[in-house]
Amino acid sequence: SAVISQKPSRDICQRGTSLTIQCQVDSQVTMMFWYRQQPGQSLTLIATANQGSEATYESGFVIDKFPISRPNLTFSTLTVSNMSPEDSSIYLCSVRTVYNSPLHFGNGTRLTVT
């Protein structure tokens, strides 16, 4: 399976600032996604990162708050903008290498907003 490197692994940020999370995959993948896991909760899909075009956002998530870039088939970034304490979560990059294969995840970014 693909090796997914995500950084930073954790960060503590102040309210009102922004954080960009990077996701690097060791092979080209068609499907790349960003998930959020709020404390004690399950995983919620934020968006599908599309190579060369705008990301596809799920209901409740907007581009202004969570801008995503995907310049190529191995790299993506997620920015959490204008953060508030409610944004404190684990953010996970995931990939699917082939149709209907399992989702594989990076180690996640544990974000705390104070």
Partner 1 sequence: AQKVTQAQTEISVVEKEDVTLDCVYETRDTTYYLFWYKQPPSGELVFLIRRNSFDEQNEISGRYSWNFQKSTSSFNFTITASQVVDSAVYFCALSEAGNYGQNFVFGPGTRLSVLP
Q: Which is nearer to partner 1, 73 or 103 (CB)?
A: 103
Sites of contact with partner 1 (CB under 8 A): 1, 30-31, 33, 41-43, 45, 48, 56, 58, 90, 92, 94, 96, 99-108, 110
Smallest gap from residue 16 Cβ to partner 1 (A): 26
Rounded CA gap, 29 and 17, in Å? 31
Smallest gap from residue 105 Cβ to partner 1 (A): 4
Smallest gap from residue 40 Cβ to partner 1 (A): 9
Q: Which is nearer to partner 1, 43 or 73 (CB)?
A: 43
Smallest gap from residue 106 Cβ to partner 1 (A): 8
Question: Which residue, 104, 95, 93, is CA-closest to 35?
Answer: 93
Rounded CA gap, 16 and 41, in Å? 24
Q: Which is nearer to partner 1, 5 or 81 (CB)?
A: 5
Q: Which is nearer to partner 1, 15 or 59 (CB)?
A: 59
* 60 contact partners, CB below 8 Å, separation of at least 6: none
